[in-house]
Amino acid sequence: TNGTTTLDRNLTATNTNINNNSTLALNNSTVNSAIKTDGTGNLSLSGINDITGDVGEISKQLNNIEALANSNTTFNNNIYANNINLNTNSILDSKGNITSNVNGAAVNTGTLNISGPNNQVITGNIGTIENLNLNSGRVVRTDGDVNATNTNINSNSTLELVSGKNIDSVINGNTGNLTLLGTSTISEDIQSLNNLRLNANTSNSLLQGIVNSTNITSTGSGSSTFEDIVTTTNLVLNNGNMTFNEDLNSINTTIGSGRLNLDKNLLGTTVNFTNTLGELNLNDGANVDVTNLGVDTTKGNLNIAGNSNISGDINLKNINITGTNQVVNLKDDVNAIRTTISNSTVNFNQD
């Protein structure tokens, strides 16, 4: 009871039981055994360790797993614990599912690597560790908040965030993907991504930092608001709403039946409407600078609610200019089935 057993060699057993508040301390060990507990057992890690076998059970979780400073431990199967604490320069490499909160022993300590051969699930919050690294090339679903200093999505991996959970972490991943399964807040910058997928049905997400993603795709009828500058190669708004409070730099923008709302500037090459219901809505002071704004006069709606400058050939179904005493400059060719102007001054071919 309350004792500590230190193992500095290899262990092979069907089951290893840690009960009565006891602690098993592994130091440079290879373990081939399921590790079980009555719910009070603890695991301490130092040196380099490799564990094959489930650690804990869903109904009887370990009390605490402590990865000591400079340790490096691989868990080849599932982990069930109340808490996992990562100390300075410690590394925990998980190849199975994790059911546990994962915390830094202090702010900005420890690294959690996710590198399993199959899709993985993290059930629990990821606290103030230094790095969360997804290296598996698989889908990793997290049912908890992510508060790591850095979240690195590597090797074509995908991080799925369950609705109601948030990320307060700088995100990087030139080959990585982030999917918001519902309503979430992303508080820090997305410095690089391959794919950002959001707007699941009924969702309403907020992205507060700079966003750099090769592709941004609306997956449903939900809504999202981007509070800072967004840069992308391909923006696809199939449905739902996207609102951009700062500049949107999008080379290719595709709008289906969704609504794209601009507070500042849209810079790019082409805006293509694929549905008659699609809308590009410009608030006062929002401007557009593209080569082509629409390519088909049977699709798309441009709604201008304030002073705006639009550069690029316009080919749309409807242009609606509403407001009071506003000035709109349309600098290039305009082709539309219907143009409605209300209490506004519109200058055509105005440089």
Question: Coil, strand or helix: which one is 274?
Answer: coil
Percent of the chain with pLDDT over 90: 95
Which of 35-49, 115-129, 250-264, 321-335 is predicted least confidently? 321-335
pLDDT, residue 251, reads 98
Among candidate residues 149, 61, 160, 57, the one with its CA nearest the CA of residue 101: 61
Percentages of the chain per state (helix, strand, coil), in multiples of 5: 0, 55, 45
In this predicted structure, the answer to whether residue 351 has a pLDDT above a threshold of 80 is: no
Q: Give yes or no for residue 2 having a pLDDT over 90.
A: no
Cα 296 from Cα 129, distance rounded (Å) = 51
Amino acid identity, position 39:
G
Band (pLDDT 50/70/90 cuts) for residue 348 is confident
CA separation for the pair 245, 191 (Å, rounded): 18
Task: Report, as an integer, the average pLDDT of 16-36.
Answer: 97
The C-alpha angle 213, 214, 216, rounded to 5 degrees, equals 65
Which is higher by pLDDT, 45 or 106? 45
pLDDT of residue 32: 98
Compute the C-alpha angle 96/207/242, nearest 5°.
Answer: 115
Residue 226, pLDDT above cutoff 80: yes
State mean pLDDT over 262-289.
97
CA pair distance 160, 180, nearest whole angstrom:
6
For the cut 80, the answer to whether the pLDDT of residue 49 exceeds it is yes
Distance CA 261, CA 96 (A): 42
Q: What is the mean pLDDT of residues 179-208?
A: 98
The share of the chain scoring above pLDDT 70, in percent, equals 99
Q: Is the predicted pLDDT of residue 269 greater than 70, yes or no?
A: yes
Tell me which H or E stretch contains 135: none
Average confidence (pLDDT) over 208-228? 98
> If you average pLDDT over every residue of the chain, what do you get?
96
SS3 9: coil
pLDDT at 343: 84
> Is the pLDDT assigned to residue 179 strictly greater than 70?
yes
Q: pLDDT band at 1, cuts 50/70/90?
A: low
Query: Where on the phi/psi map is residue 130: left (φ > 0), alpha (ψ -120 to 50), or beta?
Result: alpha
Stretch among 244-248, 259-263, 284-288, 323-327 having the lowest mean pLDDT: 323-327
Residue identified by tokens 């508060």 is 147
What is the per-residue pLDDT for 156? 96
pLDDT of amino acid 7? 94
Sign of CA dihedral 219, 223, 228, 230: positive
Q: What is the DSSP letter of 323?
A: S
Q: Are the C-beta atoms of 320 and 340 separated by less than 8 Å?
A: yes
Please report the DSSP string for 187-251 in residue order: -S-B---SEEEE--TT-EEEE-S-EE-SEEEE-SS-EEEE-S-EEEEEEEE-SSEEEESS-EEEE
- The answer, yes or no, to whether residue 185 has pLDDT greater than 90, is yes
The answer on pLDDT for 325 being more than 90 is: no
In this prediction, residue 350 carries a pLDDT of 64
CB-based contacts of 175, cutoff 8 Å, min separation 6? 153, 154, 155, 156, 157, 194
- What pLDDT does residue 349 have? 78
Phi, psi dihedral angles at 184 (to 5 degrees) = -150, 160
**What is the pTM assigned to this prediction?**
0.96
